[in-house]
Structure 1
Amino acid sequence: MSPRVSFLRGALVAGVVLGAVGVVAAASAAAVAVYFARRIVTPPRRPAEDQAIVSADSSTVLLTRSPDSQVPGRYSLFFDDTRGHARIGAIVEHTQSTVRREVITVDRGNLSLARRGRISGWFYLGPEEFGLPWSDVDIPTDLGPAPAWLIPAPDESTRWAIHVHGRAVRREETLRSVPTFHNAGYSSLLISYRNDGDAPRSPDHRYGLGTTEWRDVDAAIRFALARGAREIVLVGWSMGGATVLQTLTRSTLASFITGIVLDSPVIDWVTTLQFQGIENRLPPLVRAGAIGLLRETWGGVLTGQAQPLDLHGLDLVARADELTSPILLFHSEDDGYVPVTASDALAEARPDIVTYERFSVARHTKLWNYDAPRWEGAISRWLNDLA
């Protein structure tokens, strides 16, 4: 065989191999993009227990060092697939690899046997812990009755706060804000919404990232108005922030919304999804592919969504001029899940209506846990000014 023929044959084989590698790489990238997009809109069966527990006794628990375990404050520690629950407090000691914290209470389960857990901003497990009158109620939604907790104001009042939890959690998350609103004379309605595990599921069993969930907040507003509310503050945590902002811009009842409180909110989903993609070490092409799947009609075949997401409509920085109600905004620089940049941008775009409490060390939706006096004081002052 001549050198020329040998060279051409080798080049052809190399081309075929490289082409095959390219096809495999493209297929792998597409599969990862589908997995990432699907995970974003699919409610998880149970939260991951990502915190290692070394040991525990009656008064302390020894945890491996992690971004959450080393932040001061009061937190929940779920374990045994959420069947176990403890409340942890002050840091007693720490080393380069471990953190020992005070155990405030063990509410259920055997913490001494646990080896994995999850640190959560939830602190209270139910409204009965406040010693205040409360009741279970059902909010009529277009999917059926959604359960909620109603904690009336200490005196007859037309001021209500509707508390909206974040993604992959339930209304217990929002209990932390109840005492502050109660002391300010507000009735509190802590709602569930579609696909959160308490409220009815949508036909596609998928999150709308605020584009569908706002309808359940709108139903809660109607419920409150029917019971005498005339001034309503919406309180949104994480994805609940995106949801209440959608309510403000979409609801025909927006004139009754006198203010909005946002804790670690998603204000621009594209920014958040890009951040999450980078945190998961996904290449730019994969991140772009996942976002494209979410916003295109045909993407629903792969993600399970009944409708594509209007990601432009979910960008409240770009739509900042449409916002009309006063906003109290909490966010921490080290959030870890939802980047603080969109909150910074919204505060800069609308200083006329946004009061910004920017933390540096508190993590995601754990600002109350880290510094409750500052968090509660900011809300009390803001409500006083609102009145």
Structure 2
Amino acid sequence: MLAPRRAAGRGATPVAIAGIKAALTVLSTALVAVLAVLGFASLKIARRVVTPAVREADTRILGLDTAAQTITLARSADTELPGRYGLFTSGTEQYVKLGSVLAEDGKSVKRKLLTHIAEGSTLAPQAAFSGWYFSRPEELHLPFTSELIGSTVGPCPAWLFPAPEETDVWVIQVHGRGTTRSECLRAVPVFHDLGITSLVVSYRNDGEAPRSRAGTYALGATEWRDVDAAVGFARRRGARRVILMGWSMGGAITLQLDLNSPHRDMIVGLVLDSPVVDWRVVLDYQAKQLHLPRPVTGLAMGALDSEWAGTVTGVGGRIPFDRLDVVARAAELQHPILILHSDDDGFVPSDASHALLRERPDLVELEVFDVARHTKLWNYDQERWNSRIRTWVAAHGLAPERTAAEG
């Protein structure tokens, strides 16, 4: 005789139920673990974004020929670039200037040394390639003074390069993330030739200016106040028209200054080299370069943009990405902007620069480079870089009359 069929859904044994509960427990534990890993990774990335960077070795010295004054470096997208550059080293020399590429193969690049290295000198293999070229203001052979700009965090060091003749037109130079004022020295000569005074400034947490309470970057959201103090300094010294020039994150700082400064009436234009125009674009690009999962990137930016994560990320306050998105705020811009950007920047993609041009073609001019990479446009093609700045300054009537007539 056949046994009666059990009603559907009523035949689960205690053993089966226990198995299901165990499986659900394992899945829940695994999910919590995955979320914990994602959260930890996100907070780690968030902290990395706002922690002041230190220079790290990014190339190797493979050979040094003091007789021929040449140096051989491991080949990379930077070390193979045409033009003049710098190299941070250790050993007999701390910094050397590099000239043109003399020879190359699949693994190495031989370049001319523009800094004389004596016979018997030794350099450690680890080195850092640089676009600075000039490392100290004395190398420009132009008169300058060291100044202190009073800001809310304390006195910020600056270099003042007066124009050949007294002028009311100044340019204030703002360096990028993980660098110092020396990054800006390349731009001083072209403005000096135009009869414009240059003020090369520092800002909180850059290693030269005072440290803020948190000691972290705000990606331009607070640093602009230190540069605004420099505009006030320039006004007290006789400036009536100020051009802002920013490099990389310095571009983000100058754009925030242009949008928020109480001295906005003095600002007459901006020159931006490889600028950060929208941080979300930059961080998303860099996350892809590091092969980070998209959820990690999203959570990291969410943490930076929130008050609750401040104690974990070390940020003094939230990073207001909406306020730092100048493409979205393009309608608020009032002054002409010249952007110099390489489409193969490799660090700060030029997408947002192109987007800003589309939003404000009435104010924005974009000089597009290729091959040059991040903040190395001057090094790659100094003549074109200088010429474009001269043309823009003249077109907007920003040079003193004497130099404008001569140019």
User: Given the two structures, how large is their TM-score scaled by the length of structure 1?
Assistant: 0.95
In structure 2, what is the Cα distance between the partners aligned to 1:109 and 1:39?
Answer: 41
2:214 is the alignment partner of 1:225: no
- Could you tell me whether the CA contact under 8 Å between 2:179 and 2:206 is conserved in 1? yes
User: 1:1-34: CA deviations, max 9, x gaps?
Assistant: x997666555544443333332222211111101
- Could you tell me whether the CA contact under 8 Å between 2:74 and 2:107 is conserved in 1? yes
Q: What does residue 42 of structure 1 align with? A: 51
2:59 is the alignment partner of 1:51: yes
| Match of residue 255, structure 1, among 224, 244, 265 | 265
- The residue type paired with residue 184 of structure 1 is L
Q: What does residue 314 of structure 1 align with? A: 324
Q: What does residue 167 of structure 1 align with? A: 177
1:215 aligned counterpart, secondary structure: helix
Q: Call closer, same or farther: CA 1:339–1:245 in 2, change over 3 Å.
A: same
2:34 is the alignment partner of 1:22: no
In structure 1, what is the Cα distance between the partners aligned to 2:229 and 2:249?
Answer: 18
2:127 is the alignment partner of 1:117: yes
- The residue type paired with residue 51 of structure 1 is T
- The residue type paired with residue 58 of structure 2 is D
- The residue type paired with residue 42 of structure 1 is T
Q: Higher mean Cα deviation, 58-67 or 213-222?
A: 58-67
In structure 1, what is the Cα distance between the partners aligned to 2:121 and 2:196?
Answer: 37
Alignment gaps of 5+ in structure 1: none
- Could you tell me whether the CA contact under 8 Å between 2:61 and 2:74 is conserved in 1? yes
- The residue type paired with residue 275 of structure 1 is Y
User: 1:295-340: CA deviations, max 9, x gaps?
Assistant: 1110101111121111101000011111111111011111111111
2:336 is the alignment partner of 1:326: yes
Alignment gaps of 5+ in structure 2: 1-10, 398-407
- Could you tell me whether the CA contact under 8 Å between 2:84 and 2:97 is conserved in 1? yes
Q: What does residue 202 of structure 1 align with? A: 212
In structure 2, what is the Cα distance between the partners aligned to 1:309 and 1:82?
Answer: 42
Name which one, 1 or 2, has greater alpha-carbon Rg.
2
| Match of residue 105, structure 2, among 91, 95, 115 | 95
- The residue type paired with residue 22 of structure 1 is L
- Could you tell me whether the CA contact under 8 Å between 1:368 and 1:375 is conserved in 2? yes
Q: Call closer, same or farther: CA 1:334–1:106 in 2, change over 3 Å.
A: farther
- Could you tell me whether the CA contact under 8 Å between 1:86 and 1:108 is conserved in 2? no
2:122 is the alignment partner of 1:137: no
Q: Call closer, same or farther: CA 1:83–1:28 in 2, change over 3 Å.
A: farther
Q: Call closer, same or farther: CA 1:112–1:290 in 2, change over 3 Å.
A: same
User: Given the two structures, how large is their TM-score scaled by the length of structure 2?
Assistant: 0.90
Q: What does residue 5 of structure 2 align with? A: none
Runs of 4+ in 1 over 6 A off after TM superposition: 2-6, 107-111
Q: What does residue 254 of structure 2 align with? A: 244
User: 1:191-228: CA deviations, max 9, x gaps?
Assistant: 01000011111111011111101001110000000011
Q: Call closer, same or farther: CA 1:308–1:83 in 2, change over 3 Å.
A: farther
| Match of residue 160, structure 2, among 145, 150, 153 | 150
Alignment of 1:65-80 (within 5 A): 65-80=75-90
Q: Call closer, same or farther: CA 1:53–1:17 in 2, change over 3 Å.
A: farther
- The residue type paired with residue 154 of structure 2 is G
1:72 aligned counterpart, secondary structure: coil
Q: Higher mean Cα deviation, 344-353 or 184-193?
A: 344-353
| Percent identical | 45
- Could you tell me whether the CA contact under 8 Å between 2:252 and 2:277 is conserved in 1? yes
1:157 aligned counterpart, secondary structure: coil
- Could you tell me whether the CA contact under 8 Å between 1:55 and 1:112 is conserved in 2? no
- The residue type paired with residue 186 of structure 2 is R
